[in-house]
Structure 1
Amino acid sequence: MGTRYLENLFNPSSIVVVGASERADSLGGMVLRNLMGGGYPGRLLVINQNDYDDVHGVPCVKKVSRMGFTPDLAIVCTPPDTVPKMIRRLGEEGVRTAIVMTGGMSRAHSKTGQPLMYSVRDAARDTGIRVLGPNTIGLMVPARSLNATYAHMGAIPGKVAFVGQSGTIASSVIDWAFARGVGFSYFLTLGDGMDIDHDDLIDYLAQDSKTRAILLHIENIPNARRFMSAVRVASRTKPVIAVKSGRVPESEWFPYDLPVGLTRTDPIFDAVLQRAGVLRVDGLGQMFDALETLTRMRPLRQESLAIMSNGVGPGVLAVDRLARSGGQLAKLSDRSIDELADLLPQYWTRRNPIDLNYDASPELYAKAVKILARDPEVANVLVMYSPSLTEDNLQIADAVVQAVKGTRLNVFTCWLGQSTVMDARDEFYRAGIPSFFSPEKAVKAFMQHVNHQRVQRLLSETPESFTDHFADHSHTRKLVLRTLRSKRRHLSNREAREVVRDYGINTIETYYCDDVEEVLEAFAVERRPVDVTLIHEVSCHPFMEQRTGRGRYKSTIQGLNSEGAILESCKILMEEYKRFYADSGFLGFAVQHSYQHVGGIEFSVGITRDANFGPLVVCGAAGAQINVMTDRQIALPPLNMVLARQLLQRTYMYKLLQEYSLRPEEDIRAVAETLVTLSQIVIDNPEIKGLEISPLLFNEKGTVAVDVAIDVSDTPGRPIIQPYPRELEEWIVLPKSGRRVIIRPVLAEDEPAHRAFHEIQSPESIRYRFFQFRKHFSREDVAQMVQIDYDREMVFIANAPKEDGEGEETLGTVRVWTDADNLRCEFAVMVHDKMKGEGLGVALMQKMIDYCRSRGTMEMVGNVLPDNRPMLALAEHLGFEVSYNREEEVMDLRLVLNEPEKDWQRERLSSDSH
């Protein structure tokens, strides 16, 4: 739905509370008391059908029609049956936002037969009012003295936004945060989320300068694509930390249909949140621990950790937790070891963790910190202290705080204990240094910082160029469509192999036989050992064992080297088939020469589909001796080589491949290429519902697929991340030079050419584009330019073969950033200096204008320096309105693309322009 009217929700100048009374148990009365107690400065009104003049001193009227003014926000606390009608009346009166706190809306209405909360949703859609809830705790904006909740206490002002789903959890979060001194910019819960949802709020918070971090409590994600798009934008600029409840089937509140090939939903949410750049934590305690490190520590220059303490025990506990969490100890330099040895007893171990001894003084702590600060191998230090009779822990804390000042170290502390160390912990808090009660919590919080940076790196990694987005796979497309027209729901074994071969995946040569006699004939050709598989209709579906639960069913017998063995094996296979799958049509036998592969390493890779999250790429172990489901990992398409490698690294089989493969790097790359290819197959053919290659083995050319199964559906499955829009590619011929140029959306793989394009431009062109001189563009800068969300941004580049014939070069680029409501987009364009006068700027701009107009965007805007005469001339040529902005000292450009159809669009465009 976007951010429409959310400003009225978060910054209302007037509020009406519907259903408030002075009864002690009145929900509306509790809300009204919190509003007044919090010092809300705006106008208040109560609606109550009883004949009250006022409630708690606030004026009261009986009906919506008698309000006398139109409030920005309505808070509805009336009985469930009355809520849909009340929302409709408020919307008709022009109220823009409402909070419905009433619970019990999931029961069906006696007349409509649908749950009341859906009637609320329908009323909101019909009248245009935005609704938070039903069944929400409400909303707090502490900096604006707004406490529109029934919570037992208010929140203190801060820079953290909390968006939850459960009111009871939210109440405990307020209490918890207050005790830790954590303040909030916004605090609210969605409740049933019939209108305003996670993605709407995240879009708003991503743009809010007063919010430095976003905390999410998630029970479900109804609109996966909008959620993914919103969170990916937000997580690039501020930490997003999430708790997802319902990790096991027993705790799932909402029933969930599992995709075939999976036994739990939790790995899906893991993949979604990781791909969105979100740090997922296991509970509320970890959420605040992670918040400590992410907001108080600098970005990590290195991931290793140095540990010091006044005793062996705490250091050992910290190392244990670090190892279990996948972290690593920092290796101290020889110079640091020698300097520490001059300060410590002779029996010191001369390695990390550093034992300062039980009687360590404040001076010793300070000197040790300063030694580590000079060590180029040390970037992060955990300083621990156990209570002792010999020293004052507050003095030690002060010494550490002073020693850290002016260093590049990331320091966090653990003062063990409770009653005697609270003053020291307060000292660290005031100094902005994270502090924890136990070594385990401290290391866990540090590793959350590490994991967050790893997730963030995935958003800006430049992948290897592998997938050919421009290849022709029309054979597969025809095959899939022909299967659907024939009313089949699966491809034959032979057709499935054709699909993966069409995309470049090697397959084992297979002979298809109608009966046993043909099997014997196939064996007689070379008379070397063969594997025989019985094929029937059910076996042509992927993840058959997971679908049927018949893991003991034998469909293949391997290593047959005589006619007798083949006859006996075919008999056994037929008996097994008739026993388990008598109703599944017999399709014959498949014969393959027995394949010898290295070390018994077998992968199972494929595609499955989730009803909410769309296609999923799966990867893990294969083989009868392995619990396949335990190792199966998940990723979201589209994949590139970086993401594919990251998926592979999460599997147990990755470790086996590293250890037992004769050429591990080549085989790792081959599996990653296969995963990228599978991602591309399902993007090109969204009717493919499932695809399984099992096993995937290795030969001298890379990976080889042994068995392939594919099923299809009339309903296309679209990835929740917009893939590369190939349909937007366009070839043009430049009129002056006759040079042939392709204009296409940017790819992450374009990063090297994009960087070269920017670095070769003249200082004047750079100043015109970035409004300042820039001599250098880092890899991270350019990665953000090319790794875009096609749902929110678009970048068209103009590429052509280099004049020397060695590869391609980028000749021009145009980009737009579109707001969450698709009202306005902001453009920037730049053309290679040598292409001036070729008309390339006009071609790029016109393509972007046509694209944004087709998406329904209302306006395109931009800023241009007053002396940028070529751009101003281009803008006037394309029909932009040009005006001088005295405040910013730039020229404002505006082009109307589509006329607004709704009142809220006209209001927003009008208010934004002023």
Structure 2
Amino acid sequence: MSTRYLESLFNPASIAVIGASERADNLGGMVLRNLMGGGYPGRLLVVNQNDYDNVHGVPCVKKVSKMEFSPDLAIICTPPDTVAKTIKRLGEAGVRTAIVMTGGMSRTHSKTGQPLMYSVREAARETGIRVLGPNTIGLMVPARSLNATYAHMGAIPGRVAFVGQSGTIASSVIDWAFARGVGFSYFLTLGDGMDIDHDDLIDYLAQDTQTRAILLHIENIPNARRFMSAVRVASRTKPVIAVKSGRVPESEWFPHDLPDGLKRSDPIYDAMLQRAGVLRVDGLGQMFDALETLTRMRPLRRETLAIMANGVGPGVLAVDRLADLGGELAELSKSSIENLAELLPPYWTRKNPIDLNYDASPELYGQAIKILAKDPEVANVLVMYAPSLTEDSLQIADAVVQASKGTRLNVFTCWLGQSTVMDAREEFYRAGLPSFFNPEKAVMAFMQHVRHQRVQRLLTETPESFTDHFADRTHTRHVVNRALRAGRYHLSNREARDLVRDYGISTIETMYCDDMEEVLEVFAVERRPIDITIIHEQACHPFLDLSPTQRRYKGTVQKLNSEAAIMDSCRYLMEEYKSHFPESGFLGFAVQRSYQHVGGIEFSVGITRDALFGPLVVCGAAGAQINVMTDRQIALPPLNMVLARELLRRTYMYKLLKEHSLKPEEDIRAVSETLVTLSQIVIDIPEIKGLEISPLLFNEQGAVAVNIAINLADKPGRPIIQPYPRELEEWIVLPKSGRRVIIRPVLAEDEPAHRAFHELQSPESIRYRFFQYRKHFSREDVAQMVQIDYDREMVFIANAPREDGEGEETLGTVRTWTDADNLQCEFAVMVHDKMKGEGLGVALMQKMIDYCRARGTVEMVGNVLPDNRPMLQLAEHLGFEIKFNTEEEVMDLRLVLNEPEKDWQRERLGKIAH
């Protein structure tokens, strides 16, 4: 990912259009006319192999080599077989960015048989030019009068960025947005995305102060890890709303092989976008409805909704839709009901939704809103109006706007109808109140706000500490390595059981028998009911779910209490196995005592691996009577307890567990702990391709795994979210006190100790660190500090056992924020007041310097208050260059970590320095 040269793309001082002519249907000519019609203020040039003096009055040259200047941006509209050569010549001529509008390059092939679009990528990499496209509609930056597209109309200036993949979809978005008064800071499509991709643009837009929200239309994501890293950063600072098309296999433009255990790829995108803090919507209409509420409404204090209308019908429609989407009505306080009763007819229902009656006046609407504003149970109000003969819709709209001012309510409106209410909707738009055409759309938009706030909350939740990140699992790895060395891509049933038990997952006591005679011998010893499972090579692989239309494979028979029943069952299991898996080698029987567990609620949990998205944690129902695929939910590792509970909450089995378990909270925690453990297993042992526990049941001690299957792969699978980097842990001994301290990356679970560390600091230390005095740090403040993306940010903390023996305390911390191009990292460091003079600041800074240097970062920079002598002395000791910044009145610190290797790096750093 890189924002290299993107400033030249978005703010070019000069543009060359390659292939433009004055023919009406010429693509380059359309683009040139849009540039000129939009009032582009920069220098224009046309390149056309025909010997024109000018095109539409713009000077024209015959070849790229004849250009009198090197433009910041070139727009290529030439035939497919000429594009790669043109890109190479432009790059050699010093052009930094290009937009390739030529289409069909994914379906036109070179002599080698490779689609021509890949030759564009090779030419771009060879010369360093950045390329948007091929097959893109182009780019608009309305505030800079830049319309470098072939679109039928321009966009109006605004604070929303749109990044799409389809030109035809983009054209409709422009039209749609214009009609709704939505303006754009940037508007573009990626096309085939051979160079500039979603992650590059999201990185740029996340830092752009003119962009308040980002809209994404996604067809495919070529590099899931880069996308995930970029969008997680962006979604923390501004709303990101996405439409992902290709939800079913029949509509996927770029289908890929599905991982074991899944029937569709769409749930993977759902899980990824939710984990990134992105609001996913089902279409363009929902995208703009969600944009209305996310940008015009305050954060939600509550997730319940109050509804008022001048009639019963609209309120009923709204309540129905709210219930469908899992929303809840606000419960009106006794005081609100009494106050409203004084204004409404005697037959009023005295509950939410509030029927104001068909003849409701502007005064009544205003009074009702003011009553609700005093109700502590009400935070969000949907105000609806249906046209009537008795009242004027615009006057009522004005009353709603005036009554809403200065209240703590989130008010949004629905004025039903069309011709007679348009002026009222315009009034709401000017006042900044979201307004919708019908109750269903209004409620959907509100619930999208609720969903967005929920996924944002997941980014800042403080998880419970559960997984032991520091345990030694070396012997478990030996089991996997031994199997791979033997050319075996699965673990035996016994090995799989031992592996999960080693990680603390309880398993059923199991005896292994080679044949039916040994099973009978076990029964003779046990003399109690037993369960028998047949084991064969294929059964050692997870996710053997068959299609619901096929006859189910039965591999286990339960509660056998006689020799005759055991012999019949063994023969039956052999017939089942030979019928379904005739090529699979027989490995024996597994025997378990019946009643080792409590039956009933059965879960299927495990790990599977996707070629694009890496390892995935799955959770859902198990059992012979159900189709497990209908309940299988997905999450991305690494997981903590908060994320595991969220994954479990999405399953149907969660509802059964809450309703029918004797100990629902204990069982919910047990399943969540199992999911977190599975997440840790695949991080520790990335050669595991799939792992399935089915069923996971419950006994007096908690969750217990009955059947376990694990298969392996040659190549390790890496999560697309960087997990905790355990290899960076380091123990040191402080020279003065002799205290043993661990320096390690921060964990989300460190939030309580991190907050205590900040709150115990002196006011002066806080001022030196934050450039202001602060007495209080909220939970959200500290959660942002400890919940980091290890790809973009690093925090090392120094922890040691507390002197009173009650857990650990944080003694110091150093953090860096690194830009998307890995050019600069900005640092901040703070050491506990009581540790001054121990050398801990030097140790933390040196640890961070070594880390950033090893990952190739070019420079480390920081700002220090001029009177912070200890920090300035430390910086001087570590070799930082120190200069006084007269504009900011701070000391600028700079340390070269690696020499820049490329011209663009030196140029960017030179601009930053000046």
Matches of 2:320 and 2:550, distance apart in 1:
41
- Determine the structure 1 residue equivalent to 2:510: 510
Secondary structure, aligned partner of 2:488: coil
CA offset at residue 423 of structure 1? Answer: 0.4
Q: Does 1:662 align with 2:693?
A: no
Using the alignment, how far apart are the partners of 1:433 and 1:109 within structure 2?
52
Q: How far apart are the structure 2 equivalents of 1:546 and 1:814? A: 52
- Separation of aligned partners in 1, 2:306 and 2:598: 40
The DSSP-based 3-state class of the residue aligned with 1:82 is helix
Q: Check the 8 A contact 1:477/1:685 in 2, yes or no.
A: yes
The one-letter code sitting in structure 2 at the alignment partner of 1:707 is N
Contact 2:157 2:185 in 1 (8 A): yes
Query: Cα deviations across residues 487-524 of structure 1 (Å, max 9, x unaligned)?
Result: 00100000000110010000000000111111111111
Deviation at 1:469, TM superposition (A): 0.3
Aligned partners of 2:546 and 2:552 also within 8 Å: no
In the alignment, which residue of structure 2 is the partner of 1:286?
Answer: 286
Alignment match, 1:55: 55
Q: Which residue of 2 aligns with 1:733?
A: 733
TM-fit CA distance, 1:110: 4.0
Report the Cα distance in structure 2 between the residues aligned to 1:549 and 1:739, rounded to whole angstroms. 66
Asked whether the 8 Å contact 1:261–1:546 carries over to 2, the reply is: no
Cα distance between partner residues in 2 of 1:741 and 1:343: 68
Contact 2:597 2:704 in 1 (8 A): no
C-alpha displacement of 1:100: 0.1
Deviation digits for residues 153-177 of structure 1 (CA, Å, limit 9, x no counterpart): 0000000000000000000000000
Tell me, yes or no, if the aligned pair for 2:641 and 2:672 is still in contact at 8 Å: yes
Aligned to 2:225: 225
8 Å Cα contact 2:599-2:698 kept in structure 1: no
Displacement, 1:549?
8.6
Q: 2:631 aligns to what?
A: 631
Matched, 1:641 2:648: no
- Give the aligned partner of residue 459 of structure 1: 459
Residue 470 (structure 1) aligns with: 470
Structure 1 runs of 4+ off > 4 angstroms?
546-551, 596-599
Aligned-pair CA distance for 1:126: 0.3
Query: 1:619 maps to which residue?
Result: 619
1:652-700: CA deviations, max 9, x gaps?
0000000000000000000000000000000000000000000000011
Partner of 2:886: 886
- Secondary structure of the residue aligned to 1:544 is coil
The amino acid across from 1:82 in the alignment is T
CA offsets 1:746-769 (integer angstroms, 9 cap, x no match): 000000000000000000000000
Tell me: CA distance 1:547–1:354, structure 2 relative to 1, closer, same or farther (3 Å): closer
Q: Write out per-residue CA displacement over residues 262-290 of structure 1, whole angstroms, 9 at most, x where no aligned residue.
A: 00111000000000000000000000000
The code of the aligned residue for 1:779 comes to R
| Residue aligned with 1:665, SS | helix
Letter in 2 for 1:162: F
Q: Which residue of 1 aligns with 2:165?
A: 165
Residue 72 of structure 1 aligns with which residue? Answer: 72
Following superposition, the deviation at residue 702 of structure 1 comes to: 0.8
Equivalent residue, structure 1, for 2:421: 421
1:4 lines up with 2:4 in the alignment = yes
SS of 1:545's partner is coil
What is the correspondence of 1:453-602 to structure 2 with a 5 Å cutoff? 453-546=453-546, 552-595=552-595, 597-598=597-598, 600-602=600-602
> Which amino acid counterpart does residue 447 of structure 1 have in structure 2?
M
Cα distance in 1 for residues equivalent to 2:731 and 2:329:
54
Contact preservation (8 Å) 1:490, 1:711: yes
TM-score if structure 1 supplies the norm length? 0.99
The Cα of 1:595 is off from its aligned counterpart by 3.0
- RMSD of aligned Cα (Å): 1.0
Amino acid at match of 2:18: V
Superposed, which structure 2 residues align to 1:65-214 within 5 Å? 65-214=65-214
One-letter amino acid of the structure 2 residue matched with residue 193 of structure 1:
G
Displacement of 1:551 after TM fit? 5.3
1:150-204 deviation line (CA, Å, top 9, x unaligned): 0000000000000000000000000000000000000000000000000000000
Partner of 2:840: 840
The Cα of 1:113 is off from its aligned counterpart by 2.0
Q: How far off its partner does 1:376 sit? A: 0.8
Q: Partners in 2 of 1:129 and 1:438 — Cα distance?
A: 48
Determine if the alignment matches structure 1 residue 680 to structure 2 residue 694: no
Aligned to 1:437: 437
Residue aligning to 2:272: 272
Q: State whether residues 260 and 547 of structure 1, in contact with CA within 8 Å, keep that contact through their aligned partners in structure 2.
A: no
Residue equivalent to 1:382 = 382
The aligned amino acid for 1:747 is: L
Does structure 2 conserve the Cα–Cα contact (< 8 Å) formed by 1:533 and 1:590?
yes
Task: State the secondary structure of the residue aligned to 2:329.
Answer: coil
Letter in 1 for 2:579: R
Say whether 1:912 aligns with 2:912: yes
Aligned AA (1:688): I
* Superposed displacement of residue 475, structure 1: 2.0
CA distance in 2, matches of 1:898, 1:218: 36
Q: Is the 8 A contact 1:512 1:591 kept in 2?
A: yes
Aligned match of 1:795: 795
Do 1:599 and 1:661's aligned partners in 2 also have CA atoms closer than 8 Å? no
Decide which moves more: 250-259 or 161-170: 250-259
Please say if residues 110 and 116 of structure 2, whose CA atoms lie closer than 8 Å, have aligned partners that are also in contact. Answer: no
- 1:19 counterpart residue number: 19
CA offset digits 1:122-175 (Å, max 9, x no partner): 000000000000000000000000000000000000000000000000000000
- Residues 766 and 773 in structure 1, CA contact (< 8 A), matched pair in contact too: yes
Task: Quote the Cα distance in structure 2 between the aligned partners of 1:624 and 1:402.
Answer: 61
What CA distance in whole angstroms lies between the structure 2 residues aligned with 1:295 and 1:421? 23
Conservation of the 8 A alpha-carbon contact between 1:458 and 1:642? yes
Shift of 1:596: 6.2
**Are residues 18 and 320 of structure 1, via their aligned partners in 2, closer, same or farther at CA, if it must alter by over 3 Å?**
same
Deviations 1:707-757 (Å, cap 9, x if unpaired)? Answer: 000000011100000000000000000000000000000000000000000
8 Å contact 1:816–1:828 — kept in the other structure? Answer: yes
Counterparts of 1:797 and 1:223 in 2: how far apart (Å)?
Answer: 31
SS in 1 for 2:328: coil
Tell me which residue corresponds to 2:651.
Answer: 651
Does residue 245 in structure 1 map to residue 232 in structure 2? no
1:214 match: secondary structure: strand
**Partner in structure 1 of residue 327 of structure 2:** 327
* Aligned residues of 1:537 and 1:586 also touching (Cα < 8 A): yes
| Alignment partners' CA distance in 1, 2:198 and 2:578 | 51
1:599 positional shift: 6.0
1: CA distance, partners of 2:829 / 2:134: 45
> Letter of the aligned partner of 1:348 in structure 2?
W
State the alpha-carbon separation in 2 of the partners of residues 291 and 496 from structure 1. 48
Q: Which residue of 2 aligns with 1:815?
A: 815
In structure 1, give the amino acid aligned to 2:604.
S
1:109 Cα shift? 3.4
TM-fit CA distance, 1:577: 1.8
Deviates more, 1:549-558 or 1:190-199: 549-558
2:625 and 2:577 mapped to 1: Cα distance? 21
Distance in structure 2 (CA, Å) of the matches to 1:422 and 1:550: 56
Q: CA offset at residue 579 of structure 1? A: 2.2
2 CA distance for matches of 1:510 and 1:110? Answer: 60
Q: Deviations over 1:372-401 (max 9, x none)?
A: 001111110000001100111111000110
Please give the alpha-carbon distance, in whole angstroms, between the structure 2 residues aligned to 1:555 and 1:805: 52
Distance 2:399 2:611 in 1: 57
Q: Which moved more, 1:464-473 or 1:782-791?
A: 464-473
Q: Distance in 2 between matches of 1:226 and 1:465?
A: 28
Alignment partner, residue 804 of structure 1: 804
**8 A contact 1:598–1:698 mirrored in 2:** yes
- Give the structure 2 partner of residue 895 of structure 1: 895
1:307 corresponds in structure 2 to 307
- Deviation track 1:17-43 (CA, whole Å, cap 9, x = no partner) reads 000000011000000000000000000
**Do the aligned partners of 2:864 and 2:872 also contact (CA within 8 Å) in 1?**
yes
Query: How far apart are 1:571 and its partner, in Å?
Result: 1.1
What is the identity percentage for the equivalent residue pairs of Structure 1 and Structure 2?
86
Q: Does 1:406 align with 2:397?
A: no
Given residue 290 of structure 1, which amino acid in structure 2 is its aligned partner? A
